[in-house]
Structure 1
């Protein structure tokens, strides 16, 4: 993960500068700066609009007593998208707009859920406490599993002793 972050902080600025030079050579310097300003203004307007929508949806979910999973993810994506739109450049703006636009946000939400699920599973597996918690494996692979148990559960063999109280 550290290597990935190092490469991201090294490669993304170089890619942004290269892309700015390429766009500037095609449409000219002043037009490139105007395009950057225009997409920043559009991004600021979108962040404000979608941020309000996400906040309202979060309040509605909490008000109805429902766990606001999707609403929290949307709020986080709007926040990340806004941060990406603040950085000058076209490459980060594309990812910022993907995080903010309402029709691309579900795709980014699924991508984020997939990434974090993999990351948490890897962290949980490497944890010193990993053996303390049951895994989500097939119970038939567990040596304690008894096929005759109801609902595929465990059978604990024992003896019942009744004490009659007179």
Structure 2
């Protein structure tokens, strides 16, 4: 939990330092041009890569395969595009790295053990699941019915229960 906080505090300092270093090396106008160019590249890459990810998600959903990896790839692509669009060279480097499939696969291998996905769908269609939470009571359709409550505060008093 402390690592994201440290990154949030250090990231602006890294970006400011990178602006100073690049600005001294190539000049102010060229630095501003690179910032604008990185934003345009981020938008273009998101458009092209995003369409491919959506096609792969649809294909995996039709095959009945767990789309977890493609969902993580899609999320990482959105983060990568955001990092490219936001001004800063350190974020641009991280964003460009996230557009490389190998880097996203490494991130997936790190994230996968921490993800718990539950689905009621299987290859044969929807299969109801029983909850493992002891505080949840699962009822079948014949064990549950809904009737109007005459004492409900949400009941409209103008409507009679005839």
TM-score (norm 1): 0.63
| Higher RCO (C-alpha under 8 Å, 6+ residues apart) | 2
Q: Choose between structure 1 and 2: higher helix proportion.
A: 1
Give the gaps of 5 or more residues in structure 1.
121-131, 133-166
Q: Does 1:32 align with 2:31?
A: yes
| Corresponding residue pairs, total | 117
Q: Is this contact kept in 1: 2:42–2:81, CA < 8 A?
A: yes
Supply the distance in 2 between the matched residues of 1:109 and 1:66 (Cα, whole angstroms).
Answer: 16
Supply the distance in 2 between the matched residues of 1:6 and 1:70 (Cα, whole angstroms).
Answer: 26
Q: What pairs up with 1:101-120 in 2 under 5 angstroms?
A: 101-113=100-112, 116=114
Q: Quickly say closer, same or farther: Cα 1:96–1:111, change in 2 above 3 A.
A: farther
Supply the distance in 2 between the matched residues of 1:103 and 1:4 (Cα, whole angstroms).
Answer: 23
What SS class does the counterpart of residue 40 from structure 2 fall into?
A: helix
Q: What pairs up with 1:74-93 in 2 under 5 angstroms?
A: 74-93=73-92
Q: Does 1:14 align with 2:37?
A: no
TM-score (norm 2): 0.65
**102-111 or 40-49, which deviates more:** 102-111
Residue 68 of structure 1 and its aligned partner are, at CA, apart by 1.1
Residue 103 of structure 1 and its aligned partner are, at CA, apart by 4.3
Aligned to 2:95: 96
Q: Is this contact kept in 1: 2:97–2:103, CA < 8 A?
A: yes
What SS class does the counterpart of residue 67 from structure 1 fall into?
A: coil
Give the gaps of 5 or more residues in structure 2.
117-133, 135-162
